[in-house]
Amino acid sequence: MENYFVKTYRIILYAILVVFFLGCATTDDLNHVRGEVNYRLEATNEKLNALEKKYAALTDQTDKLSQAIRKTEDGLAQTRTSQAESRAAMTEIQEALLQIRGLLDDMKAEMRREISSFAAKTKKKEETEKRFQEKIEDLAFKINFIENFLGIGKKDTQERPPADTGAQISSNQTGAGVASVSKSDKATLYAEAFALFKEGKYEKSREAFENFLKQYPNTEFSDNAQFWVGECYYFEKKYEKAIVEYDKVIKNFPGGNKVSYALLKQGLSFLKLGDKASAKLLLQQVTKDYPNTSQARIARAKLLEIK
CA atoms within 13 A on the CB side of 154: 16
Which of 18-27, 50-59, 112-121 comes out lowest in average pLDDT? 18-27
pLDDT tens for 74-118 read 877 887 777 777 777 777 777 777 677 776 677 667 677 777 777
C-alpha to C-alpha distance for 145 and 149, rounded to whole angstroms: 6
Q: Is the pLDDT of residue 215 over 80?
A: yes
Long-range contact list for 213-218, CB < 8 A, 24+ apart? 215/186, 215/189, 216/186, 216/189
pLDDT tens for 225-256 read 999 999 999 999 999 999 999 999 999 999 98
- The CA angle 288-271-258, to the nearest 5 degrees, is 50
C-alpha to C-alpha distance for 106 and 306, rounded to whole angstroms: 69
Distances 75 to 14, 78, 100 between C-alpha atoms, Å: 60, 5, 37
267 burial type by CB count under 10 A (0-12 exposed, 13-18 middle, 19+ buried): buried
Cβ-Cβ contacts under 8 Å for 212 (sequence gap 6 or more)? 186, 189, 190, 193, 221, 222, 225
Query: What angle separates helix 222-235 from helix 259-272, to the nearest 10 degrees?
Result: 20
What is the value of pTM for the model shown? 0.47
Long-range contact list for 24-31, CB < 8 A, 24+ apart? none
C-alpha to C-alpha distance for 96 and 49, rounded to whole angstroms: 70
- Smallest CA-to-CA distance from 227 within 204, 201, 197 is with 197
- Smallest CA-to-CA distance from 85 within 74, 77, 97, 96 is with 77
